[in-house]
Amino acid sequence: MNELQKKELEIFIEVKKVLERHGLTYFAIGGTCIGAVRHQGFIPWDDDIDIAMPREDYEKFRKEYYKELPDYLQKLDGDNCKIYNGLYMKIHDSRTTYIEQHFVDFPSRYSGVFIDVMPVDAIPADKVDFVIKKVKKLSHMNNVNRKPFRKSLSMSSKLKHCIFALIQITHKPDYYSNKIEKCLRQFDGENSDRALFTWRYKASINRKVYAKEMFDSVVEVPFENTTIAVPIGYDQYLKQDFGNYMKLPPKEQQKTLHNVYLLDLCNAFGYYADRKRRGENL
């Protein structure tokens, strides 16, 4: 493990303690799930941890149980950051700094090193197309409603900013994200046979629909110096998403997907946010 991965693992272990204390279900997804199955830990070039939770458990953790984490571990989502347009939350270490390139100009979006915690929704097969269509529209409006303003010389961009401003004046920041949650929570999980990952708000979510039985239970597998839960149907899930996930990708593809502008494991992100607000160079 590198130093960043060690910090992320520390965050995960603290989150895991709270989830297990309250009997909440979680499981590794994406590259974290591949890493757990293929490497018994991080993919060597990976730089994050992604876990998902059934919607009901996710909301319990998001709204209440996260408060049981150590004080330095904070939640970042649309509840506490106006311009956060993600449909999931991050738990980050406020003693550190992790700034992605596309957020450099927006200090309110700075954070510490984090792990992602994402919801999974259960939906009847015959409602999937309807839900995807509705969530896509609401996600677009959520992005507009939370969109930060950038300086621009383009007249068309200035016009868009005026339209965005009118929407933001008339709608609270969580107006559309609340509508998305309401849409996704209307179905009875026991009578639903599909699982939908709705946190991919920018990309197409059509291919993030799975047989719900893949996630009906979990199995614990080794992960570095601890263990992590993976979906009971992890093999089917990973094949659907990644194909032959046990085969290493070519060397040129063995790199992180995050474009990190500034990483500091020793100083709090608030220090850099204050500097940016004062107009100083980071």
Q: Are residues 142 and 205 in contact, defined by beta-carbon separation less than 8 angstroms?
A: no
Whole-angstrom CA distances from 203 to 115, 132, 197 are 20, 12, 11
pLDDT tens for the chain, 282 residues: list them.
999 999 999 999 999 999 999 999 999 999 999 999 999 999 999 999 999 999 999 999 999 999 999 999 999 999 999 999 899 999 999 999 999 998 999 999 999 999 999 999 999 999 998 998 899 889 888 888 888 766 555 666 667 667 777 777 888 889 999 999 999 888 877 789 999 987 755 545 556 899 999 999 999 999 999 999 999 999 999 999 999 999 999 998 898 878 899 999 999 999 999 999 999 998
Instruction: Tally the C-alpha atoms within 13 A of residue 172's C-alpha that lie toward its C-beta.
Output: 8
Query: What is this structure's pTM?
Result: 0.91
Give me Rg for the CA atoms of the chain: 19
Could you tell me where the DSSP H helices lie in 80-230? 128-146, 155-170, 175-184
SS3 of residue 224 by DSSP: coil
The whole-angstrom separation of Cα 194 and Cα 84 is 28
Q: Which two tokens stand for residue 131?
A: 């839900």
The whole-angstrom separation of Cα 173 and Cα 167 is 10
Tell me the per-residue pLDDT of 172-197, one tens digit each, with 9 for 90 and over.
889 999 999 999 888 877 789 999 98
The DSSP secondary structure of 259-277, one letter per residue, reads -EEEEESSS-HHHHHHHHH
Q: Are residues 198 and 179 in contact, defined by beta-carbon separation less than 8 angstroms?
A: no
